[in-house]
Amino acid sequence: MITPHGGTLINRLVEGDAAASLLEKAAGLPSMTLNSREISDLEMITVGAMSPLQGFMGEEDYNNVLENMRMADGTAWPLPVVLATKGDDTAPEVGTTLALKNEDGTIYGTMDVTSVWTMDKERELDLCFSGSNEKADHNHPAWGYIETLGASYVGGTITVATLPKYEKHNDYRLTPTQTRASFEEKGWETIAAFQTRNPIHRAHEYLTKCALEQTDGLLVHPLVGDTKADDIPSDIRMQCYHALLEKYYPMDRTMLGVYPQAMRYGGPREAVLHAVCRQNYGITHIIIGRDHAGVGTYYGTFDAQSIFDQYNPGDLEIQTLRFEHSFFCKLTGGMATTKSSPAGPEDKIFLSGTKVREMLSNGERPPEEFSRPEVADILIAAYAQPATA
């Protein structure tokens, strides 16, 4: 099976007496409160989904990631994974052990602080989120997050006794250890992952089935962490995935699991992050299509594919499955790309999650060239009532 990124699947979770002892110790420590993105990052670090990270990044790793898309030791890593102070809170001193908690006071574990530094928010925005089309500005969703943070980042190794609890999708919150065990049980040696924050429309279905032709199995791995307010909520998306997979996919070669990370809308850099983390889940191939993890017009159409060419052989074991912009071809009556169809512009119907959302918002039913009817029915019903969280 594919090696975890960095060589070892990290586990920062303690259990039993060790967990009880840690929580007792943490109750008497100074604390930091994590926001929802930091909580999802803590979960992914703890279970090994962000291997080789053993905690939130320190200043040296952070700067190297911003400048070179690598950690200080040279390990490929495209975006910072950091813990920030909030509001006017004073940063802790290096050498402090902190309790890590959520807003209601629930303690997850502790962090041994090894690095504290003042953040440069504009620098992070510029280096991490500018694309080949546009320089990142304050309209980029990343700024909407970065500007809410305090003045300092705090890095160090974490030890966790209690993982975050959720009301949704718990049966599908599979850790890398669990997905790897499931792949082994199924006898899958090659596995493709499909990253999505949208319902699966016909173009997505085409890409995933092309991937199934090349691998032993497919993991549909929708992101269920924080997304933009206008993205379709995860509970609605999960209904769509179930309806589609149960009717249109071979279930003995398909799995559904959720991916707890928050969206950064980092385009090319986030595509690499998605790949690195999927390698930790045991994935051997990841689908990278048009404008992966993109937003607006910041990134070039295929920047998220070409960025992988900046890494050396051996930096990443996971392979990319790179696809052209797919479309419904009226000439052939099915999905295609320019590689497989001779159709002219008048015979191509291009699909996108953005277009589907626009149609639904206007009370229009997406045509069958856009969406399977079972999925369209779920989305129409969802848009006809108040949005859910």
Q: Per residue in 249-293, pLDDT tens? A: 999 999 999 999 999 999 999 999 999 999 999 999 999 998 999
pLDDT at 318: 98
Q: Which positions ≥6 away from 341 have C-beta within 8 Å?
A: 327, 329, 331, 332, 348
Tokens describing residue 12: 């920062």
Residue ranges of the domains in the chain?
Answer: 16-160, 172-383
Residues with Cβ within 8 Å of residue 209, at least 6 apart in sequence: 249
Cα within 13 Å of Cα(204), Cβ side: 28
Section 116-120 average pLDDT:
97
Q: Tell me the pLDDT tens digit for each residue of 286-337.
A: 999 989 999 999 999 999 999 999 999 899 999 999 998 888 898 888 898 8
Please give the pLDDT value at position 249.
97
* 356/317: higher pLDDT: 317
Under CATH, what is the fold of the domain 172-383?
A: Rossmann fold (3.40.50)
* Catalytic annotation, pick one of 197, 237, 278, 372: 197
CA distance 326 to 352: 10
Phi/psi of residue 222, each to 5°? -70, 140
In this predicted structure, the answer to whether residue 386 has a pLDDT above a threshold of 80 is no
| C-alpha torsion 124→289→38→131, nearest 10 | 10
List phi, psi (to 5°) of 316.
-130, 130
Whole-number average pLDDT of the chain: 94
Q: How far apart are the first and last CA of the chain?
A: 37
Number of other residues whose CB lies within 10 A of the CB of residue 150: 15
Average pLDDT of the residues in 21-39: 97
pLDDT band at 389 (very low <50, low <70, confident <90, very high): very low
Q: What is the spatial distance between Cα 6 and Cα 28, in angstroms, rounded to a whole number?
A: 34
Q: What are phi and psi for residue 85, nearest 5 degrees?
A: -70, 160
What CATH fold (topology level) applies to the domain 16-160?
A: Sulfate adenylyltransferase (3.10.400)
194-243 pLDDT per residue, tens: 999 989 989 899 999 999 999 999 999 999 999 988 888 999 999 999 99
Average pLDDT of the segment spanning 172-198: 97
pLDDT at 353: 67
Residue 198 annotated in active site: yes
Of residues 64, 198, 237, 280, which has the active-site annotation?
Answer: 198
Burial of 72 (0-12, 13-18, 19+ CB in 10 A): middle
Q: Average of pLDDT values for 343-371? A: 83
Residues of the chain with pLDDT > 90, as a percent, come to: 82
> Which tens digit of pLDDT belongs to each residue from 119-174?
999 999 999 999 999 999 999 999 999 999 999 999 999 999 999 999 999 999 99
Looking at residue 388, what is its pLDDT? 47
